[in-house]
Each structure stands twice: as C-alpha cells, then as structure tokens.
C-alpha cells in the first residue's frame, strides 16, 4: 500500500476520483506541492493540517483538478443541441423555458457555448436557461468573470467570437446577453441532495467525467445523471463514455460525433460495468469515427520506398492528427495517421491515436492491435498502457490489466 493511500482515499471520498484514472504520481505531486506551501515537513504533518482546514482540503482538490476545456469542444454536440432544442420547444408547445444543465462546467466554456448555440439558432432569451455547476470554486469564479484567453478558442471556426465577445486588454469578455442566460454555482455530483428540489432538465451535458471514477462510482453518478434528465431528455457525454452508457440502459440518438444519448423505451438488462480508458492529461479523447477502418487494411498497404522527409514535417503531421481528433474530425484524423505511416517510419504515437479512434468507436480488437503496435515501438507509452489495460480488464483478463497498469504507474513516476 502506498504511504499516500490516505490522500487517495480522501480524494475518492470527496470527489470520487479513482487514482488509477490519473495515476498515483499526479496525486503525489499535488500533495508534495501543498505540503511545501504549508511548510509541512512530513506527510503526517500535512495530513493533520489537511484534516484541520476545509480551505486546505479544497486547495488539494484544486491542485489535482486540471481544467482542460474550450468553446464549442466537439462542435457537432452543439449543432445537435440546437436542432433538438427547436424540436423540443415545439413538442411542449412553447409552454415553458427549456432547462439545460452543464456539469462539471469547469471555467465556463461549455455552458456559455450552450447559450451561444441556442441564441444562434434563433431561440429567444426567455425560451431557455442554462445551469452550470462545478466542484471547484476557483473554476466557477473564473466562469463568472467571463474573460478568456486564446487557449479557450481552438479549431478553425471561431467566427462566434466576433458575435459574442468583446476584445479587451486581458482577453475576450463574453457578452452580457450570453452571460445572463447562464446561472453558475458550486456543487458536487456525489452530493445526494444535489439539485434535489429542482425540476428535471431537458438536456444534460456531463462530458469526460465518468472516466475519472471507478466502476461503483460510475454507477452511482449515472443514477444521479439519469434522475436529473427528463424522461424525454438527452444526455451529452464524452467520446470515451458511450460504451458505458449503452450498458446502463441508454442509447445513442444516432447523430455521428454528437455523443448524445436518450433512454431506452424498454427496460435495460442488468448493467455490466466495464472500466473506461484512462484520460490523457491536457488532451481530449478522440471522437467516434463514423466508419472504422480495419486493422488488416492498414497492415496490408504497400509503401513505396522514398527518402525520409524532414523531421519538422513529421512533427507538423503529428500535431495535425491531434488537432483533427480534438475537433471531432475523426475520419480526417484517421486519414492523417495513414498519411504519416505512408511517408514516415512507424511511430508509437500514431498507432496510439489509431487505437484510440478504434477504441471509442467500439472496435475493441482493432484497438488492441494498434495499442500493441504502439507498445512494441515504445514499451513505456503510458497512454497506450492504460487504454490496453482497460480493454483487457473488460474482457476478463484482470491479471494482464494489472500488469499494464503497474507499468504505466512506473512510467508516470519517471516523468
């Protein structure tokens, strides 16, 4: 047992964080940073200070949480929301305002994107309200401030910034007409009284959160989310979380790359919990491709012999792959991977991306092949180790999964 097990347990109890989802090294690093800030000489001394101070408890949580979000992340989700919102208003004969929930809302990019998307499709301010919620008071305060730097605007289409923001010396300030549509508050999804007296929501955004939880917590959180979502509502999730929702009685609405789910009309079978791939720090999971490409097709390609291209070209193409995947352009990302393999020596990161694209599309065997190729080229590729471990565990190979997780943890400590 790690000497820091008590800190792992504290974070598990407070925010549901599964240490395996981020790696022990990240939590241990946060504990060291907070210990230094309080001049604690030993782990025991810091533990006592942690227990005695609610402010320090929140500070440790903030040190572990690293917000990674931007406006209109996964663009098709917001386009789909706009279409569904118009149809939903018609269904309820415009008798009330639509209710939309965003949690965790982080620093506000998601709930403000929801508001902008609905205003842009023609909804009037009185026709919808957005509720944003996050466990981090610092993140909520930044969201309320409503001023954003360039990192919050990614992708090729940022034309919305001209419509909804005003440039000033410290960044871009969101327009009051957008801000007024969003109500922000601090809240914990593990709190059993969360939004207990509130009506259900027509649309709920809860993306890239379940991947931080262990299996029992995933079930607990899903039940909360289902209770918050109207029986005819839609739940938007992250690209790596679709298989879990399918096993828990939800179904995709069938819009590619929207990651939108509704309830089954008939009772779902008893859920079988399968661990999700661990998240990648500072990188979003790649969206679901609409037509997965078989692994055997890639292997059979005949590559003409040509002089190796400049190293800068390889780096640019790797950056392009990541950008395409993060923008939800999964087919283009896969094509870019294949272009890389046609003109460059094999690279672990490219096979990792191909594995992740297959993984979130539900092509488990194909994903395993790509992950193993990545590990053949780079045995300590931590992301490939963790994702392959999750796949093995889902197939019952618990011992094999644990071995890979241990390798990944050792890799994190060396960084």
Are the C-beta atoms of residues 108 and 67 closer than 8 Å to each other?
Answer: no
Per-residue pLDDT of the chain (415 residues; tens, 9 = 90+): 345 789 999 998 888 888 877 778 888 888 999 999 999 989 899 999 999 999 899 889 888 876 778 999 889 999 999 999 999 999 999 999 999 999 999 999 999 999 999 999 999 999 999 999 999 999 999 999 999 999 999 877 899 999 999 999 999 999 999 999 999 999 988 887 888 888 999 999 998 888 788 888 888 888 888 889 999 999 999 877 776 777 777 888 888 888 899 976 544 444 444 444 444 444 444 443 443 433 333 333 333 434 444 556 888 888 888 878 766 677 888 888 888 888 888 888 888 888 888 777 667 777 788 888 888 788 888 778 877 877 776 666 767 777 877 776 666 555 5
Residue 230, token pair as written in the block: 């109207």
pLDDT reported for residue 308: 46
Please confirm whether the linkage preceding 104 is cis (ω < 30° from 0).
yes
Question: In whole angstroms, what is the distance from residue 5 CA to residue 11 CA?
Answer: 10
Compute the radius of gyration of the chain from its Cα atoms: 22
Residue 229, token pair as written in the block: 């979502």
pLDDT reported for residue 292: 40
CB atoms within 10 A of CB 77: 28
Domains of the chain: 5-64 (no CATH), 75-263 (3.40.50.150), 295-414 (1.25.40.10)
Question: In whole angstroms, what is the distance from residue 184 CA to residue 215 CA?
Answer: 29
E-assigned strand segments in 124-266: 128-134, 147-148, 165-168, 171-174, 182-186, 201-205, 229-236, 250-252, 260-263
Dihedrals φ, ψ of 195, to 5°? 55, 30
* pTM: predicted TM-score of the whole model, two decimal places: 0.65
pLDDT reported for residue 215: 80
Are the C-beta atoms of residues 223 and 191 closer than 8 Å to each other?
Answer: no
Are the C-beta atoms of residues 384 and 348 closer than 8 Å to each other?
Answer: yes
Residue 11, token pair as written in the block: 């974070």
Are the C-beta atoms of residues 248 and 229 closer than 8 Å to each other?
Answer: no
**Could you tell me the end-to-end alpha-carbon distance of the chain, in angstroms, rounded to an integer?**
21
pLDDT reported for residue 81: 97
The residue written with tokens 């939108």 in the block is 260
pLDDT reported for residue 390: 76
Q: Measured over all CA atoms, what is the biggest interatomic distance in the chain, rounded to whole angstroms? A: 67
Instruction: Residue count of the chain, please give it.
Output: 415
What's the Cα-to-Cα distance from 407 to each of 347, 386, 388, 396, rounded to whole Å? 20, 9, 12, 19
Residue 237, token pair as written in the block: 């999730």
Question: Shortest CA distance to 118 belongs to which of 168, 80, 159, 90?
Answer: 80
Residue 23, token pair as written in the block: 């790696």
54-64 helix and 24-37 helix, angle to the nearest 10 degrees: 140
Question: What 3-state class would DSSP assign to 154?
Answer: coil
pLDDT reported for residue 65: 79
Question: Shortest CA distance to 116 belongs to which of 130, 102, 97, 131?
Answer: 130
What's the Cα-to-Cα distance from 395 to each of 131, 258, 405, rounded to whole Å? 38, 27, 15
């Amino acid at each position: 047992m790690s000497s820091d097990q008590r800190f792992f347990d504290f974070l598990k109890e407070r925010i549901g964080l599964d240490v395996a989802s981020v790696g022990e090294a990240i939590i241990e690093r946060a504990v060291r940073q907070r210990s230094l800030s309080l001049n604690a000489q030993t782990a025991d001394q810091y533990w006592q200070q942690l227990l005695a101070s609610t402010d320090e408890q929140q500070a440790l949580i903030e040190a572990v949480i690293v917000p990674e979000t931007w406006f209109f992340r996964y663009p098709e989700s917001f386009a789909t929301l706009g279409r569904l919102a118009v149809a939903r208003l018609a269904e309820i004969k415009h008798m009330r305002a639509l209710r939309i929930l965003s949690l965790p809302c982080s620093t506000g990019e998601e709930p403000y994107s929801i508001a902008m998307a609905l205003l842009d499709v023609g909804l009037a301010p009185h026709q919808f309200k957005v509720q944003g919620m996050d466990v981090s008071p610092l993140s909520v305060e930044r969201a309320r401030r409503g001023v954003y730097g360039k990192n919050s605007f990614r992708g090729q289409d940022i034309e919305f910034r001209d419509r909804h923001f005003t440039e000033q010396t410290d960044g871009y300030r969101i327009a009051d007409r957008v801000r007024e549509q969003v109500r922000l508050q601090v809240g914990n999804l593990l709190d059993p009284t969360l939004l207990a007296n509130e009506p259900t929501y027509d649309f709920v955004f809860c993306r890239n959160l379940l991947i931080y939880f262990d299996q029992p917590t995933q079930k607990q959180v899903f039940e909360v989310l289902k209770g918050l979502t109207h029986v005819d509502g839609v739940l938007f999730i992250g690209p790596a979380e679709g298989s879990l929702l399918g096993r828990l009685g939800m179904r995709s609405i069938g819009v590619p790359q929207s990651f939108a789910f509704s309830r089954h009309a008939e009772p779902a079978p008893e859920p079988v919990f399968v661990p999700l791939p661990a998240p990648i720090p500072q990188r979003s999971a790649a969206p679901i491709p609409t037509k997965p490409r078989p692994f055997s097709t890639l292997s059979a390609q005949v590559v003409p012999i040509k002089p190796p291209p400049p190293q800068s070209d390889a780096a640019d193409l790797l950056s392009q792959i990541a950008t395409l995947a993060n923008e939800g352009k999964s087919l283009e990302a896969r094509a870019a991977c294949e272009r890389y393999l046609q003109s460059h020596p094999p690279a672990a990161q490219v096979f990792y991306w191909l594995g992740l694209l297959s993984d979130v599309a539900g092509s488990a065997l194909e994903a395993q092949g790509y992950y193993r190729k990545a590990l053949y080229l780079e045995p300590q590729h931590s992301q490939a180790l963790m994702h392959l471990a999750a796949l093995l565990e889902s197939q019952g190979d618990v011992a094999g999964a644990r071995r890979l997780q241990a390798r990944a943890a050792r890799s994190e400590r060396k960084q």
